[in-house]
Amino acid sequence: MISLSAQEISAVDFAADLIRQADRAMVLTGAGISTPSGIPDFRSEGSGLWSRDEPMEVASLNTFRTAPERFYNWFRPLARQIFNAQPNPAHLALAEMEQAGRIRLIATQNIDMLHQKAGSRHMVEMHGTLATLSCTTCFQQADSKNYLEAFIEQGDIPRCPHCGSIMKPDVILFGEQLPQKAWHEAQREARQCDLMLVVGSSLEVLPVAGLPMQALDHGAHLIIINNSSTYLNPRADTVLLDDAARILPVIAERVLHG
């Protein structure tokens, strides 16, 4: 068991009460839920991916179209980390609460599939997924498992088995629209939920950062669990400035077992 201060115990109990009382709870997750699994986030000072690389130069749709090799060279170490990552206690806690009927939907900004590995089933992936690849010419889609291992180990850029063109991971790059079906589902749920739990997101990336505001505008409660402050901390019912993998399992234990 982890040791909690009196203030943390009070915040955990309050968060658990809100989740227990909710009829339609939604979760929004960002990179911070996956950093304990060894996947770097994008914006942390010194360790974030964008502290080392200029995003528009390596991870934009324009770069992929004009110099896909440059994108894949940058992407290879990240793909290795994602491929080898395992869900941490925060992912498992959310899956457990979902399976118990306490969470209706998890909307994630992550592409790492760790929620699915943890057992979550009601998901929307707003920034796409690494689970599939699509051909840039004939648009055939394929399971990425058939290509990722060779790419990670030998650097073989995925090519379409039908026409030979380079395939693109089905993740959203800079300059690319969000998947419309996922985005509309996330917005609809944000407007209908009575509680939104934000986990591991700095709420800095639009338009996803606006989802909690939509929930608040429709009368929902808001819980934020993140290592750093967000623009909505003053509007939240409770804020836990903590590592999600440390604190979320404690909340889930209170929700499910009292």
Active site residues: 127
Instruction: Give the C-alpha distances (Å, rounded to integers) separating 33 from 39, 155, 222, 246, 256.
Output: 9, 28, 17, 10, 20
Residue with tokens 């689970």: 131
CB–CB of 2/248 below 8 Å? no
Instruction: Give the C-alpha distances (Å, rounded to integers) separating 51 from 40, 63, 142.
Output: 11, 19, 32
The CA-to-CA distance between both ends of the chain, in Å, stands at 15
Closest CA to 12 of 245, 255, 215, 227: 255
Q: How far apart are CA 147 and CA 82, in angstroms?
A: 14
Strand ranges (E), 25-126: 25-29, 105-108, 123-125
Closest CA to 22 of 87, 77, 126, 100: 100
Q: How far apart are CA 254 and CA 15, in angstroms?
A: 9
